[in-house]
Amino acid sequence: MRQHQELISIHAGGRGLHDITGRVAEIVDASEVDLGICSLFVRHTSCSLLIQENADPSARYDLERYFERIAPENDPAYTHTMEGADDMPAHLRAALTQTSLQVPIRQRRLALGTWQGIYLFEHRRSTHRRELVVHVLGE
């Protein structure tokens, strides 16, 4: 059994879906694991990880707009407001998505579907540097 782990830094230039598929694929290839699993974990509470459509940008746009509607800024019910109007909605959006993902590995490649990509879903408006643990396990 082989293991490989890297802590990577992602520059998220503001709210939205940021494609990290290529970066993760490079780590999987460097691990020399032919068959196994790639586990991803983002070390933050106001962003998340998604596997999403990678072909038509309108799907990602619609997804972002949907989350703006279900977790809007400036809701008078929020009490956690010290870090800005976008902070509590960011926590809600992260709670509704996920902070970790697992993707199978086949032949030293992520076994994603044709139209699937891995995205860091940044929920804050301003630029952030996000840390992501990528752990590869297999043979």
CATH topology for the 2-138 domain: Jelly Rolls (2.60.120)
pLDDT at 51: 98
pLDDT for position 91:
98
Cross-strand bridge partners of residue 133: 7, 41
CA distance 132 to 129: 10
pLDDT at 120: 98
Which tokens belong to 108?
């030293």
Give the model confidence (pLDDT) of 47-70 as tens digits. 999 999 999 999 999 999 999 999
Going by C-beta distance under 8 Å and a sequence separation of 6 or more, which residues neighbour residue 135?
A: 3, 4, 5, 38, 39, 40, 41
**Tokens representing residue 130 in the block:** 């996000």
For the stretch 87-134, pLDDT in tens is 999 999 999 999 999 999 999 999 999 999 999 999 999 999 999 999
Name the phi and psi angles at 46, rounded to 5. Answer: -125, 25
